[in-house]
Homo-oligomer: A and B are copies of this chain.
């Protein structure tokens, strides 16, 4: 590694997800912060996290935070909801600021819900943890919350079955109660779910407010810059590094599609 590369890596923002869904977050943040560099780690070899036990998710998560710290990041973002649930309330990792998606997502939902009930969609791990329900009730004691695990949604997105009779039938099954109760604020508690946005709107109505992780993380990152907790990157040194624990043609293709129009270099394989 040249000293110029070392210098660049010292200034990046680390993002971790179980797979490639977190690239939707990377894309949002890379667009909002055009001079910042990013180091992304997708744990493709061991995805999905959504059906693992909290102990296993924590063990894998700590390995990944350690890897990103060793890559000299200045801030850490857990883009994976299932992983966020096991690091809830932890604001730093060995003195590096740590953001998760649960708290900002909950705050954003409360801002638009006007006291009406809020629905949370997520993996089995996220829903079984009740992390969103607990966080929402901490922020507003009387908030009514409906949680619904949608475990097949991740597989649908990974197989590219979106806007399809199959995704619509599965969506109808999962979302029936939420539609019948006319709930109009829905937290997408998994980074894969924004890709099913059109299916969800078709089922829940065009007036549904879907809360997505990428948008709200941008606000939290802005606060970290504004408070001086982390410093801004210099112009002209930007890089975007996408690392994964496995590489297949399918995932390489999916990664490039998710990041468009931002182009990325070859995926870097990391053995954890």
B166 pairs with A173, CB closer than 8 A? yes
In the assembly, what is the distance between CA of A55 and CA of B245, in Å?
11
Among B44, B124, B169, the residue within 8 A (CB) of A169 is B169
Contact mask for chain A residues 228-272; partner B; CB cutoff 8 A; 1 contact, 0 none: 000000000000000001111011000000000000000000000
Contacts of A51 in B (CB 8 A): 158, 248, 250-251
A53 interfacial by beta-carbon distance below 8 Å: yes
A52 close to B248 (CB less than 8 A): yes
User: A residues 203-236 with Cβ under 8 Å of B?
Assistant: none
Q: Considering the complex, give the chain B residue whose CB is closest to the CB of A154.
A: B155
A139 close to chain B: CB less than 8 A: no
Contacts of A247 in B (CB 8 A): 53
Q: Known interface pairs A51-B250, A53-B247. Does A169 touch B159 (Cβ–Cβ under 8 Å)?
A: no
Q: Which chain B residue lies CB-closest to A149? A: B159
Contacts of A53 in B (CB 8 A): 246-248
A155: nearest chain-B partner, CB-CB: B155
Is A97 part of the binding interface, using a Cβ–Cβ cutoff of 8 Å?
Answer: no
Kindly state whether residue A112 has any CB partner on chain B within 8 Å: no
Given the contacts A51-B248, A52-B248, A56-B246, A166 and B170 also touching, CB distance less than 8 Å? yes
Is the CB of A152 closer than 8 A to any CB of chain B? yes
Query: Once bound together, how far apart are the Cα atoms of A161 and B169, in whole Å?
Result: 13
| Chain B residues within an 8 Å CB radius of A165 | 169
List the B side residues contacting A56 at CB < 8 Å.
45, 245-246
Taking CB atoms, residues of chain B closer than 8 Å to A156 are 152
| 1/0 contact string of A13-52 vs chain B (CB within 8 Å) | 0000000000000000000000000000000111000011
Contact of A151 among B45, B159, B166 (CB under 8 A): B159
A44 to B44, CA, bound (A): 15
Distance in angstroms between the alpha carbons of A173 and B160 in the assembled complex: 14
Given A56-B246, A152-B156, A152-B159, 12 further pairs, Cβ under 8 A: A45-B52, A45-B56, A46-B46, A51-B248, A51-B250, A53-B247, A53-B248, A151-B159, A152-B161, A165-B169, A166-B166, A166-B170
Q: Can you show 21 pairs from A to B with CB atoms below 8 A apart?
A: A44-B52, A45-B46, A45-B56, A46-B46, A51-B158, A51-B248, A52-B246, A53-B246, A53-B247, A53-B248, A55-B246, A56-B245, A124-B250, A151-B155, A151-B159, A152-B152, A152-B155, A152-B161, A155-B155, A165-B169, A166-B173
The 10 closest A-B pairs by CB, nearest first: A155-B155, A56-B246, A53-B248, A46-B46, A45-B56, A53-B246, A151-B159, A52-B246, A166-B169, A152-B155
